[in-house]
Structure 1
Amino acid sequence: MLTVDFERLGVQPGDKLLDIGAGRGRHAFEAARLGAQVVAADLDHADLVATQDTVAAMVLEDEPLPEAWGFMAAQTNALALPFPDDSLDRVIASEIMEHIPDDAGAMAELFRVVRPGGTVAVTVPRWLPEKVCWWLSEEYHAQIGGHIRIYSESELHAKMLTAGFETFDSHHAHGLHSPYWWLKCAVGVKNEQAWPVRQYHRLLVWDIMKHPWPTRAAEAVLTPFIGKSYVAYFFKPDDTDDVEAIASTTAGEDPVHKGATTAESADRGSSLEGAGRRR
């Protein structure tokens, strides 16, 4: 189940791509299939081991992979990424900013490591579905390492603009998933055995595995209104010497709708050297 649209992100064979907060590697796997040189990074060691095991299985099963592909896993912190300045072509930061107390610091670090002209996809829980979850369950957002903030779309864009990025696209995703999380919050976030939760989970698995038309149609209808995730795409301007000028010229604009039309309006020097292609 992908949240990021790789075509919008502009992933090309040979791109140096960081998936920060990779979890079990859903986006990292897709990037590798497209021929990118991928680093899947996370704080959770167990998730990284599972990700490496899955990649090993892909290779053993002779899954067709482009010549340019590469893969490695790294346990690292979003506030201190082990990459040189301007060294990455693409970065994915999916569902991590809401967990990080110093989100501005994490965004600044993304800006540091991506090359001029490179692109970044940031996904966060959408404001309305997330607000309902917080209202239904204190447990949902009170657990250690849980969500500590709810972003509005304009807030996310404003913070990324402050870090130096420019917006070029955005959309929502996962309309079927908001009701699932509302059910979990209503019966207990960790209560996986509740009948409504089990039945809805079966529906989601069916949708992910089979892509039947009824759930695909429901997803298309629900996503614009209650899509669980908000996905925004940014690029690092080629001229990064005048970030203040960029910010001043965009003051007063709505950063959510600025830019292109959207579907819905180890040692720093030891990793991934070079800047790669221009966007």
Structure 2
Amino acid sequence: MLSFLKKLSAITPAQTAAEPVAAVADKVDPFSLGLYDAKLSGWYNQATHELYTGFAVSADDTLLDVGCGDGGNVHFCGMRGAKIILADIDAAKVEATRQRLSDTPAQDIECHVTDCNPLPIADATATRVVSTEVIEHVDDPAQFLAELVRVGKPGALYLLSVPHPSSEDLQKDIAAPEYFQKPNHIRIISEDQFKAMVSEAGLEIISHSQYGFYWSMWMMLFWEAKVDLSNPDHPMLEHWANTWQAVLDSPRGAQIKQALDAVVAKSQVIIARKPAASL
């Protein structure tokens, strides 16, 4: 099952300003709304050049995205002029992302089709390492994280995310069975487990946050609607998107979003640093 963060990031972040999503004929596009919601949570900050709060990217960086998916994250980083390295097990996605980057000022684009065991990348290559919604899929998280650490330069920043257990636990008896089967989500990772994984890999955790109540509820309704993700047209999903847009547009919308994100979140995000001394 395609992760919803990857799906919403398929929209080029620059295409959607950090303003409410306009409804067309009283119908809100769920993925554009999801991107807007993600921006409110700290993603794709054009003004500060932060891919996510605390993770700024510049033309001085060599950024590796492992599990690049549809390429929204690296497109944002390519627009900052960084050197980009792509790695994904899906050759079609790597090629599609390479093509997406052709309109950016990225200094260079290096592509790898790989299962990341090991990564075909030299030690101490990247100053920025991104891997979103991948660890829940891999057979050996410790080995996977060890590879990410190996290819980062001393002092490199890491942006890592996995599904939050609050959302995953809600879906256990509702999601399609394959959602929790290989090659999809083969584990649910608690907050403590996520922090332990990252720390035991040798990284210093800078921040640990969560967001995505909107997507958590959307997914619950998605399973009940029994529609295809490529065309999720159903009254329940339409009503939910309209409702969430109305919530965000309300005077205390940001406060309500923050409170709900703290209770049921789609994703948890860790920003970490590789120690300056070699590991």
TM-score of the pair, normalised by structure 2 = 0.72
Range that drifts further, 218-227 or 19-28: 218-227
Post-superposition shift, 1:166?
1.2
Greater relative contact order structure (CA < 8 Å, 6+ sep) = 1
- Are residue 12 (structure 1) and residue 50 (structure 2) matched? no
Contact 1:137 1:188 in 2 (8 A): no
Match of 2:236? 196
Structure 1 contact 122–233 (Cα < 8 Å) conserved: yes
How do residues 170-185 of structure 1 correspond to structure 2 at under 5 angstroms? Answer: 170-185=208-223
List aligned pairs for 1:26-41, cutoff 5 A: 26-41=72-87
Cα RMSD of the aligned pairs, angstroms, is 2.8
* SS, match of residue 14 in structure 1: coil
Give matches, 1:86-165, under 5 Å: 86-165=124-203
Q: List gaps (5 residues or longer) in structure 2.
A: 1-34, 44-50
TM-superposed CA distance for 1:49, in Å, is: 2.5
- Assess if the C-alpha contact under 8 Å between 1:86 and 1:113 holds in 2: yes
The residue aligned with 2:68 is 22
Residues 69 and 94 in structure 2, CA contact (< 8 A), matched pair in contact too? yes
Choose 1 or 2 for highest CA Rg. 1
TM-superposition CA deviations, 1:117-154 (whole Å, max 9, x none): 11111100011111111232252534441100111111
Matched, 1:213 2:249: yes
Q: Which residue of 2 aligns with 1:256?
A: none
| DSSP 3-state at the match of 1:104 | helix
Equivalent residue number for residue 62 of structure 1: none
* Amino acid corresponding to residue 211 of structure 2 in structure 1: A
Which consecutive unaligned segments of at least 5 residues does structure 1 have? Answer: 60-64, 242-279
- CA deviation after TM superposition for structure 1 residue 43, in Å: 1.0
Secondary structure (helix, strand or coil) at the match of 2:210 reads strand
Percent identity at matched positions?
26
Q: Hey, what does 1:274 align to over in structure 2?
A: none
Pairwise CA distance, 1:195:
2.7
The letter of the residue matching 1:109 is E
- The structure-2 alpha-carbon separation of the partners of 1:188 and 1:17, relative to structure 1 and needing over 3 Å to count, comes to same
| Separation (CA, whole Å) in 2 of partners of 1:202 and 1:73 | 39
> Which whole-Å CA distance do the structure 1 matches of 2:109 and 2:56 have between them?
18
State how far apart, in whole Å, the 2-side matches of 1:216 and 1:17 are.
34
Give the drift of 1:25. 0.4
Q: Does structure 2 retain, via aligned residues, the 8 Å contact 1:140–1:189? A: no
Range 46-55 or range 191-200, more displaced:
191-200
For 1:216 and 1:74, locate their aligned partners in 2 and report how far apart those are by CA, in whole Å: 42
Aligned residue pairs, count: 229
CA contact (8 A) 1:19 1:41 kept: yes
User: Which deviations, in whole Å up to 9, do the C-alpha atoms of 1:207-250 show, x marking residues without a partner?
Assistant: 9xxxx735963544422222211000111112345xxxxxxxxx
Letter in 2 for 1:96: V
